[in-house]
Amino acid sequence: MNHARIQSTGSYLPDSVMENAELEARVDTTDAWIRERTGIARRHIAAPEQTCSDLAQHAALNAIAAAGLQADDIDCLIVATSTPDQVFPSTACRLIERLNIPSGAIAFDVAAACSGFVYALDIAHRFIQTGGAKRALVIGAEVFSRILDWSDRSTCVLFGDGAGAVILEAAPSAGILSTHLHADGRQEPLLNVPWGISQGYENLDGGRGNVSMRGNEVFRVAVRTLGALVDETLAANDLQRGDVDWLVPHQANIRIMSATARQLGLPLERMVSTVEDHGNTSAASIPLALDCAVRDGRIQRGELLLLEAFGAGFTWGSALIRY
Ligand code: UT7
């Protein structure tokens, strides 16, 4: 089996920033409530003409430049998203031409909601392990502003738009040490967008195309599930609490993230947090956070990273990485 390591990272955030104060004017909420309950102060919102692939393209070019590569060095492209450009072709396929990736590469989208990036990373890793690919571009990209009910204060204050990318390459020693993916659809009503193409456009009414969440119940399941996931990841690698250098969590809520850091035995300075400035960008949040901490010099080569996510499905997953 081959090994894989992260060669480079990249990210992109749309220019427009929506502060909590702007939401105070739209729904019955306050900046103080949003900050205290979620840790969010602002989020980026895509311009009306920007789609998922536009955000993904910027993040990808950023990662390709950071690696000093040409696009024709990439033979596998996976996009994790719940807000793709079109029903088909996949967002990944649409990016092939725009990024100038050679014809014949592997390209597809992954739908696992907020856990999508960890799922996509795991899949890319397996392609490299088995020799099916040499260098994979793995992107998380979302335009959640398009699936929010902007009159629903329980959801519209939480999410933002953005994209993050990593390039994974075959390597002589292991960068990705282990991945752990799980799903259970039994509690689907707690968090969903209760409409999709096969339900027919005639049934797309009354906000059925928007995020619906029973936040408090999701919160409790998320904290419990992520605690067990962290224990599973440490045990699989013979590690103790405190052995990990950085937690790079899905950025849903600062209180959920902090609970996971405590479970890991990590001080909060060792948790990468972008939730204040980005909100929850679903599948984009982990690669966005990773890229921030790589570029500002916090995360150094050789350090041990734990990536984890929990989201609709429910889906959840982690990756332990020697960076
Ligand atoms: O990324 C995928 C996974 N998603 C998550 O992991 C999100 C998990 N859930 C959460 O992050 C939190 O549950 C929320 C941030 C969504 C909500 O925080 P909470 O502390 O669980 O609040 P709550 O839902 O229990 O609501 C407390 C109160 C309620 O009022 P009453 O019933 O106590 O009078 C809500 O109606 O806060 C009210 N509320 C708000 N108030 C001001 C709900 N949303 C708002 C709001 N502004 N935006």
Among left, alpha and beta (phi > 0; psi -120 to 50; other), residue 124 is alpha
Give the nearest ligand 1 atom to 250 CA: 1
Which amino acid would we find at residue 32?
Answer: A
pLDDT tens per residue, range 224-235: 999 999 999 999
pLDDT tens per residue, range 80-110: 999 999 999 999 999 999 999 999 999 999 9
pLDDT tens per residue, range 21-48: 999 999 999 999 999 999 999 999 999 9
Mean pLDDT of 116-134: 98
The reported pLDDT for the residue numbered 206 is 73
pLDDT tens per residue, range 166-195: 999 999 999 999 999 999 999 999 999 999
The reported pLDDT for the residue numbered 195 is 96
Using only the alpha carbons of the chain, give its radius of gyration: 18
Taking all residues of the chain, what is their mean pLDDT, rounded to a whole number?
97
Question: Is 29's C-beta closer than 6 angstroms to any atom of ligand 1?
Answer: yes
CA distance readout (Å), 176 to 5, 225, 262: 6, 22, 23
Enumerate the H helices of 237-300 as residue ranges: 254-264, 275-278, 285-295
Phi (first) and psi of residue 19, to 5 degrees: -80, 160
Separation between Cα atoms, residue 117 and residue 309, nearest integer Å: 8
User: SS3 of 16, please?
Assistant: strand
Mutate to test the pocket of ligand 1, among 24, 29, 36, 37 (most ligand atoms within 8 A of CB): 37
Question: Is 253's C-beta closer than 6 angstroms to any atom of ligand 1?
Answer: yes
Separation between Cα atoms, residue 185 and residue 175, nearest integer Å: 31
Residue 116 has pLDDT above 90, yes or no: yes
- The protein residue with its alpha carbon nearest to ligand 1, atom 42, reads 29
